[in-house]
Each structure stands twice: as structure tokens, then as C-alpha cells.
Amino acid sequence: MMKARIVEHLGQTEVLLPSLVTTALAANDRAKLCMSALQAAVQRARHPADPPPDLDNECRAAGVDPQPVHTLISSARISRNDVLAASGLSALLDTLARHVATMNDAVLAGNPTEGERAAARLAALKARLPSELTDQLPLADVTQLTSVPQNDAEDSIHRLVMDLHKALNRLAMRCAEEVIAGAHAHGLTPDDRPLLEAFMRGVERTRALKFDHPGLDTTATRAGARLVIQNDIGTTDAHVLVVTVEALTVTITYTDVHRARAQFFIALFDAFPIEWSGLAQKSAAALGEDSEFYLVTGRASFTRLADCEALLEAVGAALVFLIDWNKARKVLRTLVGKKEAIRLLSWSARQGYGHRAFLKLGGGDLVSSAIRHAAPERIGFGEQLEAVLGRDAATDFLRTVLRVSAEALLQGQSVRLAKDAIEADLVRHLDRTDRRLLMVAVEQAGLAREIAVRIAENLAERAAGRGGKGLLLAEQAKRIEEKADRIAVDARTAAQRLNVGATIAALIDELENTIDELEQAAFITSLITAEIDLATLRSLTELCGSVVDGTEAAASGIDAASEVPEGRRADSEDALAATTRLTELEHACDLAERTVTALVLRGSCEARTLVAVLELARALERASDRLASTGRLIRALVLAHLSA
């Protein structure tokens, strides 16, 4: 100490600056711990039935005995006049003041003007507290110590600590003895170098993903037995990362104003054996009441240097994904749900794309532009993509947006081409949505075929003289029709939600009507008990066979039409051929129905049988009309895609 004063008197404080900064950075950690302990004491006093907050890892990271902190927190009480009482409170306040003074000493040595301003602020803040500190303090004074006022004109110890910390970071870079892999370092031993280099490999691997955003400056120093690595991440005051390494034990101390982002940060390291305290246990220390932030500590011990370096590299690589994270989350949650937005950010980080490119290209405006150009009638203003495309499709599309944005900026591609690719992918997902509904229509056509085939089999049995199982036929047809109704209701709801074109909705309606006609035909068939002449039965069987062929043509035509957006010419040709076939089958059914009518009217069957046979023929013919109408809708769908 005496040597330091002499050197200072001679005006050579720069010689001492690296050591002073190292000491001050350690004091910064302990000052934050003091504020965390104060806040934890208030939390304990307000909720005495809850388990007391556990700050053991934070104490170890700061090199502080945790027992006095335990005592302070466990003894905390609040009196009726809103005064906090806790054993050791006066000692903690005195310690806090000393740590802040230590920080200011280093700033004074490196930047006297800034240090003098900070000293004046500290004196003014101390003057607000009681002249004689005791183990009791009004809650208003606790708030004044730990909060960050929203109004810049107001001050607090917490704000002063943050400002001094930023000043210390600037000094640490200025007085660095060397630059190692891009990090400003001083006082490092040979054993520290590979550890810092591992951390910086991670930082450099993903640094490009921040683009023009400031941040990711790293400082490192040797503090006793520990290597201390600090990264400024971005520009947020309370967004800090400190990593210490001692004997292959890595301690990560992370603070953040956003709880969700802190949870996101923790989740990025699920492949490593890290024990997290605070946030992971849902008891994060919230520092400050007006503008609180959260502190979390992770600790992992290794037996191999390579494993230790792997974690350090992963931590360094993850930092870029924290920059503007909350801004990206806010944009994405307007497009999908809150949880899905975070899952997207996690996926993008793990894939190495990040979200900064997405924001740089416009973020929400980028997606809105794609909607305006590709689907203005399908997706309304302010409507969530998830509501239109469905969760899986919306998520898949937004993954493409994040990927294409990052690749375009990293590879220097045309922004216009990137936007075109995003618009094309949106169209592709909308087409896939249409395809899902068209597959419902294919299923409807299959159900229609099932009823028609059963009617045809019944007629064939009667023609063979074995009699048909009319009652069973009616029951089977009714069950199929009820199933088809449920499918149609769900499909119409989806069509309305997905804002699909009128053609697909009409297609679903027409096939439902086809099934209704065929169910009616099956019901009539079950009522015919009298003998029917062979010629009439054969004509009915021929008519029903044409309807069966029509259901098959409709199914194949719809299936082919669903593939037309993929650009395969053969599919459009197959779909159009199916529509032609449906028209031909309608004509065949018309002729068969007239043949049945002529045979019945010229015959001698009783009136009830005559009416039943005519109604059966008409129901089958109406089904063929519905199928022909389906063909015209398929044609319209194909031509619309081809013209687009």
C-alpha cells in the first residue's frame, strides 16, 4: 500500500493501473453480491414461509464467505413502519461502500475527471443514508441502494456501480499488456493462454453474426489463483458475463434484465455438466425494484483440459445470440406463439444462424413484405402466421427466414434475391396448406367410392339371384356418410381459418353432396324388396359402375392437382385428363339413367318398386352430376396455378 501511494504521488499511476483495475473488477463482483444479498433479505422478510434465497454459488464466484450472507438473509424481518432489520446489515452496507470506493479508486487512477465525478456522486448518495448505520434500514433506502431509476436525473448506488463497471472495462482494455486471440489481457500465466484462446475461438466463430452491432469485446486477467474472463456482450448496462477458471473448474456469472433471455442462455449449454444456481432454481436474485435484473451462476468441474476448453469455446460462441435477443423475440411472437418464438431463437442459435441478420433485413417488415407480395388475400394485417399456416408450417417458414437472412448477409448475396427466396418459401407453405385440404378432398372421394362400390355389389348380388343385404348396406352407408360429414365440417373450418381460395372450399362441398346422394341411393336400395328384371338390374349396375369410376377419377384428379404447384407438367396433364374423364362419365350416367327409366316404365313391376328404382337411378345420376362439377372445379384449380 505504501509503495502504491508513493508511485501515485510521483504521478506514475499507470504502472499500478492493471493491478488496480483487477482489484476493482473483483470489488465490482462483491458490490453486486452485496446488492443481491440486500434484495434477497427483503424477499425473505416479505415471504418468510418460502425457502431463503441461496447465494452460495455467487459467494464462491466472488470469493466471499457465504456464512454472513446466510445469517443476513435468514434473520431479515420487516417492521410495521417498513423498516428492514437483519443481522449484519450495517456491516454489509459498510462493505458495499468500501467496494464502490475501491472501484472508484481505479477509475480515479486511470481517468481522474471521470473518477472525481463518480466520487462526488458516491458522497451525495452516502449523505442520503442515516449518519450512523445500524442493522435496521428503511425499505425506501434499500430501494435507493439497489434500484436503477428510470429517470436519468436520479441516481443510486446501483447506477453508480454500473457506470464505474463500464469505466473499468474501458480502462482494462486501455492498459492491457497484450492482446491474445483478440482479447485484451494482462497478468496472464502460460497456463491461462489456451483457456482464453478457447473462449476467443468461440467468440470469433460466431462474431460475424452480430454484423454491425457493437459488443463482444473481451478482457482477461489473472486474479490470484483464478483466470477471469469478461465480455461486454452488447450495450445493455446490466448485461454482463464473467467467466472464471480455477483448477479446471469453470464458473459462469451472468446477469440480464430479461428473465426469459437468461433461461435461453442457460438452455444453450444443456450438453455440459453445469450446475446452475439462482434462475435455474426459480429463485433468481432480482437486483433492484424499479429496473431489476437477474443474476445466475453456473459451475462445472472437469478432469480434462480439453473438456474445460470445450465449455469455454461454447460460452464464447453463444454470446452473439444474446445481442438483440429480446427484440427478435418480440417480432417472432407476433407471428407465432411466445413459446414457439423462443424455440425458434434456440433453433437458430444451435444451427449457427442467429437472429441479427433477420433483424437487419427488416425483421417483422421482412415477413410483412413477403405476405404483401405473395399472399395478400390469404393472410390479413396483424394476423399470426401460426393461425393461417398452422404451427408446424409457420415454424418451418420462419426457420427458412432466419436461415436465408443469415446466409445472404454472411455470403454477400443480393438482399433482393433473399427476399425473393423468402416469398417463394411462403408460397410453398401456402401451397402445402392447400395440398393438405386437397388430401381431405381425396379422402372424401374415397368414401364416396366406398358407398358406390357397396351399392354395385348389392346390385350384382341381386342380379345373380342371391338377394342383397339391403339393411346392412343402409347401415354401412350411413356410418360412412356420418364420417364424411365430420371430415367436411373440419375441412370447412380449416378452409375458413387458412383463407384458402373459393375453389377448394367448393370442391369439399361438392364431394360432401356427392356422398349425400350416394347415401340416399344406398338407403333406397335397401328398401327395394321386390324382384327386378335382369335388364333393369344390369342397367342399374352399369350406372353405378360409372359412378364408381367417377369417384376414382375425382380422387386421382384432385391428387394430381395438388402436385401442380410443384411445377411438374405431368401432374397438370393428369389432372386435366381426369376432368375430361369425369365429363364423359357424367354423359354415360345420363344415358344409363334414361335406359333404366325406359325399362321400368315399359315393364310391369308394381308402383312401389317402379318409384324406388327410378329414385335409385336418379340419386346415382345426381351423384355423377356432382362428380362432374368436381371435375370442373379441379380444372379451374389447375388453370389458376398454371396461369400464376
User: What is the reported pLDDT for 232?
Assistant: 78
Using the structure block, give the residue that is written with the C-alpha cell 384449380.
Answer: 637
Contacts within 8 Å (CB) and 24+ apart, 108-115: 109/8, 109/13, 109/14, 109/16, 109/17, 109/20, 110/13, 110/14, 110/17, 110/20, 110/21, 110/167, 110/171, 110/174, 110/175, 111/167, 111/170, 111/171, 114/167, 115/167
Last residue of a domain, one of 299, 323, 347: 323
How far, in Å, are 101, 124, 164 from residue 221 at the CA level? 21, 32, 18
User: What is the reported pLDDT for 290?
Assistant: 42
- Are the CB atoms for 233 and 218 separated by under 8 Å? no
User: What is the reported pLDDT for 468?
Assistant: 63
**Cα dihedral angle (630, 634, 640, 642), rounded to 10 degrees?**
-170
In a domain, 337, yes or no: yes
User: What is the reported pLDDT for 383?
Assistant: 64
In a domain, 422, yes or no: no
Identify the domain containing residue 561 by its residue range.
Answer: 428-643
In a domain, 479, yes or no: yes
Same domain, 487 and 619: yes
Q: Is the dihedral of CA 310, 234, 37, 77 positive or negative?
A: negative
Residue 211: closest CA among 467, 405, 11, 422? 405
Same domain, 75 and 157: yes
User: What is the reported pLDDT for 280?
Assistant: 38
Residue 236: closest CA among 267, 211, 213? 213
Same domain, 508 and 635: yes
Same domain, 252 and 351: no
User: What is the reported pLDDT for 197?
Assistant: 97
Report the distance separating Cα 140 and Cα 137, nearest Å: 8
Same domain, 500 and 524: yes
Structurally, the chain folds into a number of domains equal to 4
Report the distance separating Cα 359 and Cα 331, nearest Å: 9
Contacts within 8 Å (CB) and 24+ apart, 535-539: 535/599, 536/596, 536/599, 536/600, 536/603, 536/613, 537/459, 537/462, 537/463, 538/463, 539/592, 539/595, 539/596, 539/599
The residues near 183 (Cβ < 8 Å, ≥ 6 apart) are 196, 199, 200, 218, 219, 220, 229
Residue 399: closest CA among 462, 338, 488, 335? 335
Same domain, 465 and 367: no
Strands (E), 187-225: 218-223
User: What is the reported pLDDT for 375?
Assistant: 65
Residue by residue, DSSP assigns 450-478 as HHHHHHHHHHHHHHTTS---HHHHHHHHH
Give the pairing of strands 183-186 and 218-223: parallel
- DSSP annotation of 516: H
Report the distance separating Cα 574 and Cα 558, nearest Å: 10
Same domain, 546 and 568: yes
User: What is the reported pLDDT for 471?
Assistant: 81
The residues near 127 (Cβ < 8 Å, ≥ 6 apart) are none
In a domain, 477, yes or no: yes
In a domain, 419, yes or no: no
User: What is the reported pLDDT for 389?
Assistant: 75
- Are the CB atoms for 234 and 323 separated by under 8 Å? yes
How far, in Å, are 276, 305, 356, 605 from residue 269 at the CA level? 11, 18, 21, 84
Last residue of a domain, one of 139, 172, 205: 172
In a domain, 406, yes or no: yes
pTM: 0.61
Same domain, 256 and 339: no
Report the distance separating Cα 261 and Cα 62, nearest Å: 23
Residue 362 bridge partners (DSSP): none
Report the residue count for the chain: 644
Strands (E), 111-169: 136-138
Last residue of a domain, one of 303, 323, 343: 323
In a domain, 418, yes or no: no
Same domain, 162 and 263: no
Same domain, 530 and 455: yes
pLDDT along the chain (644 residues), means of 10: 37 59 90 90 89 86 88 90 90 92 89 91 86 85 80 82 91 81 87 96 96 87 83 70 91 84 93 81 37 78 96 96 94 91 96 95 88 66 69 90 95 90 82 77 92 90 74 90 89 69 84 93 85 84 92 91 74 88 93 89 77 91 94 88 68
- Amino acid identity, residue 463? A
Same domain, 293 and 335: no
In a domain, 421, yes or no: no
Same domain, 7 and 135: yes
Report the distance separating Cα 290 and Cα 275, nearest Å: 30
